[in-house]
């Protein structure tokens, strides 16, 4: 048993055959796979609930409506969230922007997924 765990440690401590960039790519690929298999349906579902008129983007009115369903939403809060999520500033939250927000706020979005 001791011998086994030592070999394991050697493997873990000697990753020098991979470049840092390769490692980074592998981690990124891995998290994309996780995203695809576990969370994509949740993100999809929440986005569609927010996108009340189904045009594929969330307006600030739709965001406000969804946040009211969650309990609290002052116009200030809605504006702040809108500015935070709408990174290209076109006034709408695209699905990609929504996914990015989801990835940056996993804890929050897990709670949202429970409600929606």
Summarize as ranges the residues that interact with Ca ion (CB under 5 A). 51, 53, 55, 86, 88, 90, 94
| Closest distance to Ca ion from the beta carbon of 13 (Å) | 45
Is the CB of 54 or the CB of 107 nearer to Ca ion? 54
Q: How many CB atoms lie within 10 A of CB 51?
A: 20
| Closest distance to Ca ion from the beta carbon of 98 (Å) | 9
| Closest distance to Ca ion from the beta carbon of 29 (Å) | 26
Distance (Å, whole) CA 50 – CA 48: 5
Residues 6+ apart with CB under 8 A from 34: none
Is the CB of 18 or the CB of 45 nearer to Ca ion? 45
Is the CB of 90 or the CB of 111 nearer to Ca ion? 90
Q: How far is CA 48 from CA 31, 55, 63, 67, in A?
A: 23, 9, 11, 14
């Amino acid at each position: 048993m001791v011998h086994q765990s030592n070999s394991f440690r050697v493997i873990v401590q000697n990753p020098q055959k991979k470049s840092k960039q390769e490692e980074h790519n592998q981690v990124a690929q891995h998290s994309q796979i996780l995203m695809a298999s576990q969370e994509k349906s949740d993100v999809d579902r929440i986005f569609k609930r927010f996108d009340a008129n189904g045009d594929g983007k969330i307006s600030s009115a739709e965001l406000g409506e969804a946040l009211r369903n969650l309990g609290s939403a002052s116009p200030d809060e809605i504006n702040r969230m809108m500015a935070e999520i709408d990174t290209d500033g076109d006034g709408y939250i695209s699905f990609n922007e929504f996914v990015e927000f989801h990835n940056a706020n996993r804890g929050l979005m897990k709670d949202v997924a429970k409600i929606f």
